[in-house]
Amino acid sequence: MKRSSRNPEQCMDGKNKQRGAALFEFAIVATVFLTMLFGVIEFGRFFWTHNALRDAARRGVRYATIRKNDAAGLQAVKYMVVYGDPNANPSTATPVVPGLTTSNVAVEYQNYNGVLLSSRATVSIVNYQFRFSVPFVGGTKTMPAYRTSLPGESVGYVPCDIGMGNPLAPCNIIPN
């Protein structure tokens, strides 16, 4: 058997010098790729939450225009915004957006003393905290206030502020 006179370190070919480089390159590429992937997913969740909150405010103000301006009516409008159902049971119902509560909802009525064409209902969703789900980043972001207003609707009743209205129509009744 002939023994090589070369130094073993000199016998290393190009493959042995690159040992571990592929793993290092994969770690760099995977980190960048996963960061971008989680960023896209979080942006999608954020945008979906934005649209869902905007839609909830719209749905609530549509419902508020036909409700009475009393405690039961205000609670029904808030349940409509949060749960999508004015008769929802808060202990069993699921909010349309995770983390949304009735304390995030404000309902305002202007000139709402009966069925008036000059009346206006406004529903706002304020101080909603969006929670990020990206590992190690986490945190929350306060979403902007969502505010929607609509004029009151008579829903088949003769409005009180129309002159020469139907004398038989009740003027101060808003259906529930």
Q: Tell me the average confidence (pLDDT) per consecutive run of 10 residues in the chain, 176 residues long.
A: 57 63 90 90 93 95 85 92 93 94 93 69 94 78 92 63 50 50
* Per-residue pLDDT at 143: 93
List the strands of the sheet with 146-151, edge to edge.
105-110, 120-125, 146-151
What is the model's pLDDT at position 128? 95
The dihedral built from the CA positions of residue 11, 15, 17 and 23, taken in this order, carries a sign that is negative
Cβ atoms < 10 Å from Cβ of 52: 16
What pLDDT score does 176 carry? 46
Amino acid making up residue 165: G
